Structure 1
Amino acid sequence: MTDHSTIEMNVLRQIGWDHWDPVGIRQTDDPAWRTAAADEYDSYLLHTAGMVLQSASQEAVAAYLDDITVINMGLGPVNGAIHGASVRTADAIAAYLRTRSNDARSSDTRDIR
C-alpha cells in the first residue's frame, strides 16, 4: 500500500477542488483565497488519505468529510449535495491511492531468469 511519503499534494488538492470544495473557493479569481484554502484543505485531505490507507470504509471517509463541512466549517446540515461531494471525494482519493499502489508494485517487479 502507498505510504504518506508518496502522496502528491497537488493531486489531492485537485481532487479537493474538483469534488469537494465546500466553501466554493475554486470559483474565486483571488489567488490569496485559493492559497489560504489550500492550507486548510490540505490537512483534511491528508487525513482522508490516511483513513483510506488504513482501510476505513468509504462511508467512514465520507462521514469525516461531512463532519468537516458541517461542524468545522459550519455549512450544515448534511444534505444530498454535501454528502454526494464527500462520497465523490472519498472515491477519487481511494482511486488515486490505488493507482499509486499499483505503480509501486509494478516498479518492484523484477525479471528473474
Structure 2
Amino acid sequence: MDFGEREFEWITELVRSHRESIQQLESLPAADRGNLSAQLARRQLVLGSDGFVKLTESMSAYQQEISRYRNQAEHLSPEALKKLEQSMVERLAAIREKIASIKYLLTSA
C-alpha cells in the first residue's frame, strides 16, 4: 500500500528549509536582504495559511490511520479493514491534491 512517504518528506523539508532561511535572513544586514525577504514572505504566507494548517491536521490524522493499519490490520474484520484502507486512500488523495496546490502557490509568479 502507498503510504505517501514522499509527500511527508517534501512537507518536512519545506518547513525545515523555511525555518533555516528565516534564520539566515535575520543574520544578514538589512541592505543585503533584498529579494530573499520577498521570497520568504511569500512562502510564509502559504505556510501560515488556514489551508496549510488543515493540510497538517489531515496529515496527522493520516499518520494515525497508518499506525492503526500497521498495528491492528490483522485483528480487524475484513469489512473494517476495507473501510480503513478506503479512508486512507481518500485522505492521501486529498493530501496530494493540497500539496499540489501548495507547490503551485510557491512556484507561480
> TM-score under structure 2 normalisation?
0.39
Structure showing greater Rg:
2
Higher helix share: 2
> TM-score under structure 1 normalisation?
0.38
